[in-house]
A and B are shown apart, each in its own frame.
With several copies, the nearest count.
Chain A
């Protein structure tokens, strides 16, 4: 059957070896332990002004209530559930850096400098009351930020069989 690989050669010899330079160009991800974070640093105050310029039109002044969703926790209107935000639903602070750098602003993805992303990350963490306004966010400090939602996350416990989970 097709899945059997016993007849495969040790190598098909296809593809070319990737150089460190080209890997580095593409390897933009950031892990919770900080692996992947670039040099640079940011602070909330600088992030705030970038945010107001480049992000607030979609995510609201102060990160609350824009057409593309809040990023900052706020007190919900009476009878409403709180919006899911970085402050109440994100388990890792590194994800803010990773995601903003790869995908935002939506209309110009990939346009921010690492420094800008650090500032924005600091701003979003501060606006969500996770860090104070003096905290400098960099490759060392960001992985250490403990997110309010962290303890809520559990791995999938469904496993098939009769039980509804």
Chain B
């Protein structure tokens, strides 16, 4: 087992060799690796995102708990991950403000700060169509971190947002120069200009050195590598809020569909796992962009009846919550699934309900219940929807 982690950082090498050589037969008889500067994963753990060119999906089926390791947070970008010098990067706020201001990263860090644990989900986070799909493939474009930054409201006070400002443009410093129009109200409510994630600086894939973070809203609106906010009296109708991130609904096109509808997914047991007869703790994640998860129900008989799952505290606002349900599996063929109810009374719909409500065009914000087929040999397969 040869294991090493090498981080070449601006000319400085950090090297942390955990083990190079053979595995000891008896680890109690050899002194282990001495303390180091940076830890690493065990070489036995192979956690990887599933990348395409434009996105990379979190391995939900491999996770425990509600925090996503930062290096496994899903990625979605429209022109790659830029490399940004944090000492040069600035955030400009202008437009309908009393006083347009430019903030260095160090300025942003000096403002009163706030931290919150919240999910971030891409609204294009749904796959179905074959049995051999894992949670990562079905909906791996959701992850959760503890985000730290300055409230946008604090910066709004500083620049003096004018009363007639109703929208603002958020613009990234990546090669897509990503732009979204956001209602000013969200900025006053709970938007964060985030510079940290899970205890440390944002990771490059998550917007280093600074991003917008809009709790509960579709991921694309939380513009990464943020360089500019322009206050305005109208939305800007950027490509990302017209050609993309809009849904064809019954012949119309739904726009500015910001909220992430409540959703849940069983991550254990799931494909490609296998179960054995006996007690199985069904585990999963549930979340809502509209507030708190109120309950999660689990069905172990293909939806004929539903039982309340247990929720792991703390149950946080606009956050992934772990749910668990203890099930004795006797070897029968069946289907298991979960559905969440959020604090607005919204109940996660079936695929068929969504199609009935929206028409058959699919598209963004597809939060349907996902079912797992349990085979008599313990195999677990996704149930493709149609």
Binding site for B on A (CB under 8 A): 1-5, 7-9, 11-18, 22-23, 26-33, 84, 86, 89-92, 94-95, 98-99, 102-103, 106-111, 149, 152-162, 164-165
Contacts and interface: CB of A to CB of B under 8 A. Distances in A.
B376 interface: no
Contacts of A23: 92, 94, 100
14 contacts: A1-B310, A8-B112, A12-B279, A18-B93, A26-B227, A28-B177, A90-B243, A95-B242, A109-B30, A110-B26, A153-B255, A155-B254, A157-B254, A160-B344
A98 B31 CA distance: 18
A12 B157 CA distance: 10
Nearest to B278: A13
Interface of B is mostly: mixed
B290 A160 contact: yes
Interface in B238-292: 238-239, 242-243, 246, 249, 251-259, 261, 278-279, 290
B103 interface: yes
A165 B255 CA distance: 13
Nearest to B365: A158
B237 A94 contact: yes
Task: Tell me which of A13, A90, A158 has the highest count of chain B C-beta atoms within 10 A of its own C-beta.
Answer: A158
Interface stretch (B4-12, B128-136, B298-306, B345-353): B345-353
B111 A14 contact: yes
B78 A31 contact: no
B61 to A, nearest CB: 21
Contact of B326 (A8, A15, A26): A8
Contacts of B243: 84, 86, 89-90, 95, 99
B238 A106 contact: no
Given A29-B169, A164-B357, A11 B158 contact: yes
Interface of B: 26, 28-31, 78-79, 92-94, 99-104, 107, 110-112, 114, 151, 153-154, 157-158, 169, 171, 175-177, 179, 227-228, 230, 232, 234, 236-239, 242-243, 246, 249, 251-259, 261, 278-279, 290, 310-313, 324, 326, 328, 342, 344-347, 349, 353-354, 356-358
Contact of A161 (B154, B255, B345): B345
A5 B324 contact: no
A2 B312 contact: yes
Contact of B345 (A15, A153, A160): A160
Nearest to A102: B177
Cβ-closest 5 pairs across A and B: A160-B344, A99-B239, A15-B101, A18-B100, A102-B177
Contacts of B78: 103
Contact of B28 (A14, A17, A110): A110
Given A9-B328, A31-B232, A109-B31, A14 B158 contact: yes
Nearest to B30: A109
Task: Tell me which of A18, A107, A159, A161 has the highest count of chain B C-beta atoms within 10 A of its own C-beta.
Answer: A18
Contacts of A103: 78-79, 175-177, 239
Given A153-B246, A157-B254, A31 B100 contact: no
Contacts of B258: 156
B103 A5 contact: no
Contacts of B175: 103, 109-110
Given A12-B279, A29-B230, A154-B254, A5 B157 contact: yes
Contacts of B345: 160-162
Contacts of A22: 92, 102
Contact of A15 (B102, B261, B290, B311): B102
Contact of B158 (A15, A27, A94): A15
B112 A155 contact: no
A84 to B, nearest CB: 7
Contacts of B261: 158
Contacts of B252: 152-154
Given A103-B78, A106-B79, A18 B176 contact: no
B92 A99 contact: no
Contacts of A107: 31
Contact of B347 (A89, A155, A162): A162
Given A99-B239, A103-B176, 19 more contacts: A2-B114, A12-B279, A15-B158, A18-B102, A23-B94, A26-B92, A26-B227, A32-B234, A90-B243, A92-B237, A98-B238, A110-B29, A152-B252, A154-B249, A154-B252, A161-B344, A161-B346, A162-B345, A164-B354
